[in-house]
Structure 1
Amino acid sequence: MMKLSTTLLAATALIAVAGCSKKRPETLPPAPMTDAAPGQVAPPATNPYGDAVVPGSDADFRRSVTSNTVNFDVDMYDIDPQARSILDSQAAWLTKFPNVRATIEGHCDERGTREYNLALGDRRANAAKNYLVARGVSPARLTTISYGKERPIAMGSDEAAYAQNRRAVTVVLN
């Protein structure tokens, strides 16, 4: 009986392994198209703008707007006059490139609980998003995310560092 069960077990294992083997496709996909002759390495893709910044890119955005960052006061998410000026320049750029999408990141300083700072970062990101939408940017093009206190830009436990970390940052997606 022992020999029969061992034989059945071995036969079952062989059938299972045979069923898992890959079969070679009947036709192979074509080779990638390149301008290089066979056996030569294709040159790397080049930027049609040379070393210049590509219009509609995040680098173009950061170069063209007043700032990609809006700062906030302690425990606040209101858009003040300085933030309005920054967001107005962002809205003008986003209007110029209607197919570009962006993410607005909400950040906080290190004080407070993780949960509180995630919620405050969300309110800051949404305040910036709502302002841009009010200026004519389609809400479908904008997403928000809160990092709370998890991604500080300035290290330190003083008011100068805290002030830099209380922010909403607009990042253009390429």
Structure 2
Amino acid sequence: MSMFNRNYILALIAAFAISACSSTPEDTTDDLSSAASQEDYSDSDSQVDGGAMGSGEYAAEEATDPALEERVVYFDFDKASIRPDAIATLQAHASYLSSTPAARLRVEGHADERGTREYNMALGERRAKAAASFLAANGASASQLEIISYGEERPIALGHDDGSWSQNRRAELKYTAEAP
């Protein structure tokens, strides 16, 4: 592990310990965005898949990049790191946010049902922060990002098997506002 990656991980741990269960992105993303860069995520552990938008969410109006249609980043068991196959999607959203200052994005972290409720809330928050940190490091403003964790409380799949659990380990990207 390179010294830069080790320092980044230590910064993440320190920020997490300081912020506990805070959901204000200004407190976490600003601190982490300066240390994060796209190289930090080259050997990480999450996947990307498409997500549906719910009511009350805005679509990216100028969505010319197909990667903007991807709205869910999946994670491996007990991991909160971004895998290489999620980079194009997150970069597309960061670029859109950078070019659209009025856009606002809520990053919702989730976990599967294994583990305690408290642990899963913290894990969901780490996943949301990882995605938000990547977005901030690649051009999004911290003021455009909101972080929230739902832990295990909002599963997509209701089964009690690896297939269901893998769908529930995710961070969802939901636009809440954007330029008219």
TM-score range, shorter chain: 0.5 to 0.7
Q: Find the counterpart in structure 2 of residue 150 from structure 1.
A: 153
The structure with the largest alpha-carbon Rg is 1
Q: 1:93-108 counterparts in 2 under 5 A?
A: 93-108=96-111
CA contact (8 A) 1:66 1:89 kept: no
Paired position in structure 2 for 1:73: 76
Tell me how far 1:173 sits from its aligned partner: 0.7
Match of 1:60? Answer: 60
Query: Which of 134, 151, 155 is 2:137 aligned to?
Result: 134
Q: Secondary structure at the match of 1:60?
A: coil
- Which letter does structure 2 place at the counterpart of 1:59? A
Aligned partner of residue 59 in structure 2, secondary structure: helix
Inter-partner Cα distance in structure 2 for 1:140 and 1:107? 22
Query: In the alignment, which of 86, 89, 100 is matched to residue 86 of structure 1?
Result: 89
Equivalents in 2 of 1:115, 1:154: separation in Å?
Answer: 20
Structure 1 unaligned regions, length at least 5? 1-56
Task: Say what the alpha-carbon RMSD is for the aligned residues.
Answer: 1.8
The number of aligned residues is 118
Q: Is the 2:60–2:175 contact (alpha carbons within 8 Å) kept by the matching residues of 1?
A: no
Unaligned runs of 5+ in 2: 1-56
Distance between the aligned counterparts of 1:60 and 1:88, measured in 2? Answer: 14
Find the aligned partners of 1:124 and 1:148 in 2 and give their Cα distance.
10
2:59 corresponds to which letter in structure 1? A
Out of 109, 124, 127, the residue aligned to residue 127 of structure 2 is 124
Tell me by how many angstroms 1:66 deviates: 4.2
Partner of 1:10: none
Q: Give 1:86 deviation, angstroms.
A: 1.6
Structure possessing the higher relative contact order (Cα contacts under 8 Å, 6 or more residues apart) = 2
